[in-house]
Structure 1
Amino acid sequence: MSNTEMDPAAFVCADGGAPGPESVCDGGVPVEIITARDVPLGGPRAMNVRRTLPQRQRSTIGAWCFADHYGPDDVTASGGMDVAPHPHTGLQTASWLFEGTIAHRDSGGVAADVLPGEINLMTSGAGICHSETSTAGTTVLHGVQLWIALPSESRNSPRAFENHKPPLTRFDGGSALVFIGSLLGSTSPVTTHTPLLGAEVRLDPHTSVTLDVDPDFEHGLLVDTGDAVLLEGVHVPKDTIGYTGIGATALHLANTGDDAARLVLLGGTPFTEELVMFWNFLGRSTDEIRQFRDEWQAGGDRFGRVEDYVGLGGPNRNAQGMSWLPAPELPATPLRPRRNPPPHARP
């Protein structure tokens, strides 16, 4: 998915930084709450997404550097998703749906549908472009779009695309779909370039589970549904992330509500490289971001072309009449470092 903001914030991320806002914990490991901000995706009938990463509070969780949460969205009212071809550098996009279907087309020649319960993982390498459109048969769209930062040794790798349908892993009181990494004895085969975890966890009403986790990982729990989901004794409101830092060997999740809960658990070893993020580009310096932007605006070979994009506004155009998304103007001043806090929930 694209960041369609035409005046996006620039993020330069690295380890370190000063203490931040309070978190509260009644037991277990500390938890920090990361709230979402609403971002419109598109034109006048835009589909809104809730963006929890990146934030000024915390830019990354492991190598997870971007998290959009959307729906359930009635596409007959919103117009659905219609993101014209747009670029990416230095990252992987991980598409995970709960409901609906999205048509993915990219300059690597891949044409695939994103389906509920299947991970679609696109690797940009040095550069790729792609489009995303909700399909004609989709009436409700609901899911998450995630980005993974690539380390220096992998960020110029070839373009790639992988699809995987994880098996349902059941436990007493719920189930999990492990789409990246390993959890509960289930391992995803998709390729990652740093140690990572991504899983959808479902909890029945009034149930709990203890998950054994890697103490080298920091974790974030995004709440999709469930009125009273508790993580380590802290209430994590809907549409927010409950963040726990490194050092924990187990996480305790509980659903004290009368309805089933659906959660997305993200984790990974802290990403220690400095990142410059602007719009849909991940790089290492202002000059590099400027080069990416100039090449995209000029239609350079770095990103290739999406040959078979068909938008909701007609062949080769989105609902706003665009055949591709132009990049926003860069700020007049250099992008200054914004340090990611240490990998601990901040007391």
Structure 2
Amino acid sequence: MWLTIHSQLFEIDDAFTYFKTMLKQAHQLSSQDLQALGALLEQCKHYDGHVIPVYAHLLTRKRTLPSLLYYQDQQLIGFLSAFGFYENACELALMVAPSVRKQGIARAMLLHMLPILATLQLNTVIFSSIHSTHKPWFNKNQFAHLKSEFEMVWDIAELPETDESELQVFQASEVDIPFLCSIDSLCFPEQSMGQNNMVERFLNLLNDDTYTIFLARHAGIPIGKAHIHWLANSAQLTDIAILPKEQRQGHGSELLRQCIRYIRTMRKTPITLNVETRNQHALNIYTNLGFIITNICDYWSTQLNNLLKKYNIS
């Protein structure tokens, strides 16, 4: 759906600039849109040093939550997309080309997105942000800082040598769903989505060709898991978890080591993963395996009602 904005006036150094701009709302991005988004990401990375995640693999699917694309003279200069990773919250990815920042473009897209979110009965909005760049704005508007994450990449020839391990790693199936739900509840309580939703999520993942879930078993008992998300020319490790009582015994390192070996047989390097900056134990594991930090991103949250009130949206 295209929305034509014919009379947006933005004040710049006491002068007004007129933009005849096309704002496109889409629930599934075209290949042309993805190409334009890639160019915008490159501009932002060159200028800022880092970029926020935009989950391009999700944007190619038909989704309930929309994306907004702000075009000017056939160039993508603004992007805003909502992602429903949580039961009652969504994550917003918002970018504006460096050459046209501070001209009201981000505000215009946000004002269009907020009423849409209000119809979906969401409680919380989470913004991803370049590390530290917008901290004063978030603090001024009473956002809470949730976390900061490193993106790490593995793209080396060999894994470090290690002693032989008794850990068994195997591909999960539907019979393993009770354990998968249990370990998620223990290790990721902040992402809890209810038992029925968790079962449905794992059923979908296990039947999705772009995902593989590996379980780790020690002495015949499942103790951990890791997900592999297969992308076009790479792979991403996600949802890495070891039962609390089994942690700090080398099981996490060995699980990842075997996942990396499997990914290499599929010729899908480089391999990426995300980790919270405060999780020093996990950082040490990943660094020892050869992962290096390539990006850092902050996450801030607020109640949706706070934003609706701020912008007088009823």
Q: TM-score, normalised by structure 1?
A: 0.24
More strand by share: 1
